[in-house]
């Protein structure tokens, strides 16, 4: 699943993998499950953790921890993003990605 950032977000209309910030006392897997539920109203189960990515934007540094997950249920409802879609790994190059997500695209393409 990929999501398109809204016009109101930083990096408007760039594509990204959904996720969010780890809360105090929360591990990375719990974070992605919670964020997908909150942002997309979908229930997932983590299958595999991919290699983390660190990226320096002009104003901050970000560390992304990507996961492969299985969809368990729910009905897609966008809370923050302009769009979301399921795409195959060989289709990822067709999208205008947020710079921090590009190394994750490469990981998926090389699987």
Q: What is the pLDDT of residue 98?
A: 97
pLDDT of residue 108: 96
Compute the chain's Rg from CA coordinates.
Answer: 13
Cα separation, 95 vs 102, in Å, equals 10
Q: Which three-class secondary structure state does DSSP give residue 98?
A: coil
Model confidence at 86, in pLDDT bands (50, 70, 90)?
A: very high
Q: Contact, 65 vs 49, CB < 8 A?
A: yes
pLDDT in tens, 14-55: 999 999 999 999 999 999 999 999 999 999 999 999 999 999
pLDDT band per the 50, 70, 90 thresholds, residue 62: very high
pTM of the model: 0.93
């Amino acid at each position: 699943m990929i999501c398109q950032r809204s016009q109101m977000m930083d990096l408007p209309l760039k594509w990204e993998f959904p996720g969010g910030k780890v809360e105090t006392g929360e591990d990375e897997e719990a974070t992605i499950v919670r964020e997908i539920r909150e942002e997309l109203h979908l229930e997932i189960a983590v299958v595999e953790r991919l290699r983390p990515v660190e990226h320096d934007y002009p104003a901050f540094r970000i560390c992304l921890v990507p996961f492969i997950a299985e969809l368990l249920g729910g009905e897609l409802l966008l809370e923050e993003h302009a769009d979301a879609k399921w795409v195959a790994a060989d289709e990822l190059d067709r999208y205008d990605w947020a710079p921090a997500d590009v190394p994750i695209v490469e990981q998926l393409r090389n699987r």
